[in-house]
Amino acid sequence: MEYAYAAQLGKPNIYITFAMNITRVCDCHGREMTPITPDVGVFASTDPVAADSAVLDMIKERNRRTFRGHHALKYGERIGLGSRKYRLVTL
């Protein structure tokens, strides 16, 4: 979270998240992995914490089970990266 905060500090940004083929670990591992959830779509926001909160909530809703990640979003909110509150607009 600190690196993301520092990288965007003072810059106007829009964050786009393609929530597709989501796997349990980072796709940077360079090996084929089975997705843990069906695709949930594309999310865009000027607030990276809000966008990721929406993605995580959508995954939870579709899968009816808990996924980790809220602790990181809570921390991002605490350091001023963004807010976990959002209004989802479906297009």
Containing structural domain, residue 35? 2-78
pLDDT digits (tens, 9 = 90+) for 54-63: 999 999 888 8
Q: How many CB atoms lie within 10 A of CB 88?
A: 11
Please indicate, yes or no, whether the overall pTM of this predicted structure exceeds 0.75.
Answer: yes
Determine, yes or no, domain membership for 86: no
Per the domain annotation, does 85 fall within a domain?
A: no
Give the chain's domain count.
1
Note the maximum CA span of the chain.
Answer: 38
Give the model confidence (pLDDT) of 17-39 as tens digits: 999 988 888 878 888 899 988 89
Name residue 18's beta-bridge partners. 42
What amino acid is encoded at 78 in this protein?
R
Sorted by sequence, the CB contacts under 8 Å of residue 31 that are 6+ apart come out as none
**Is residue 11, in this structure, part of any structural domain at all?**
yes
Q: Where are the beta strands (DSSP E) in 3-87?
A: 15-19, 41-45
- 74, 52 Cβ separation under 8 angstroms: no
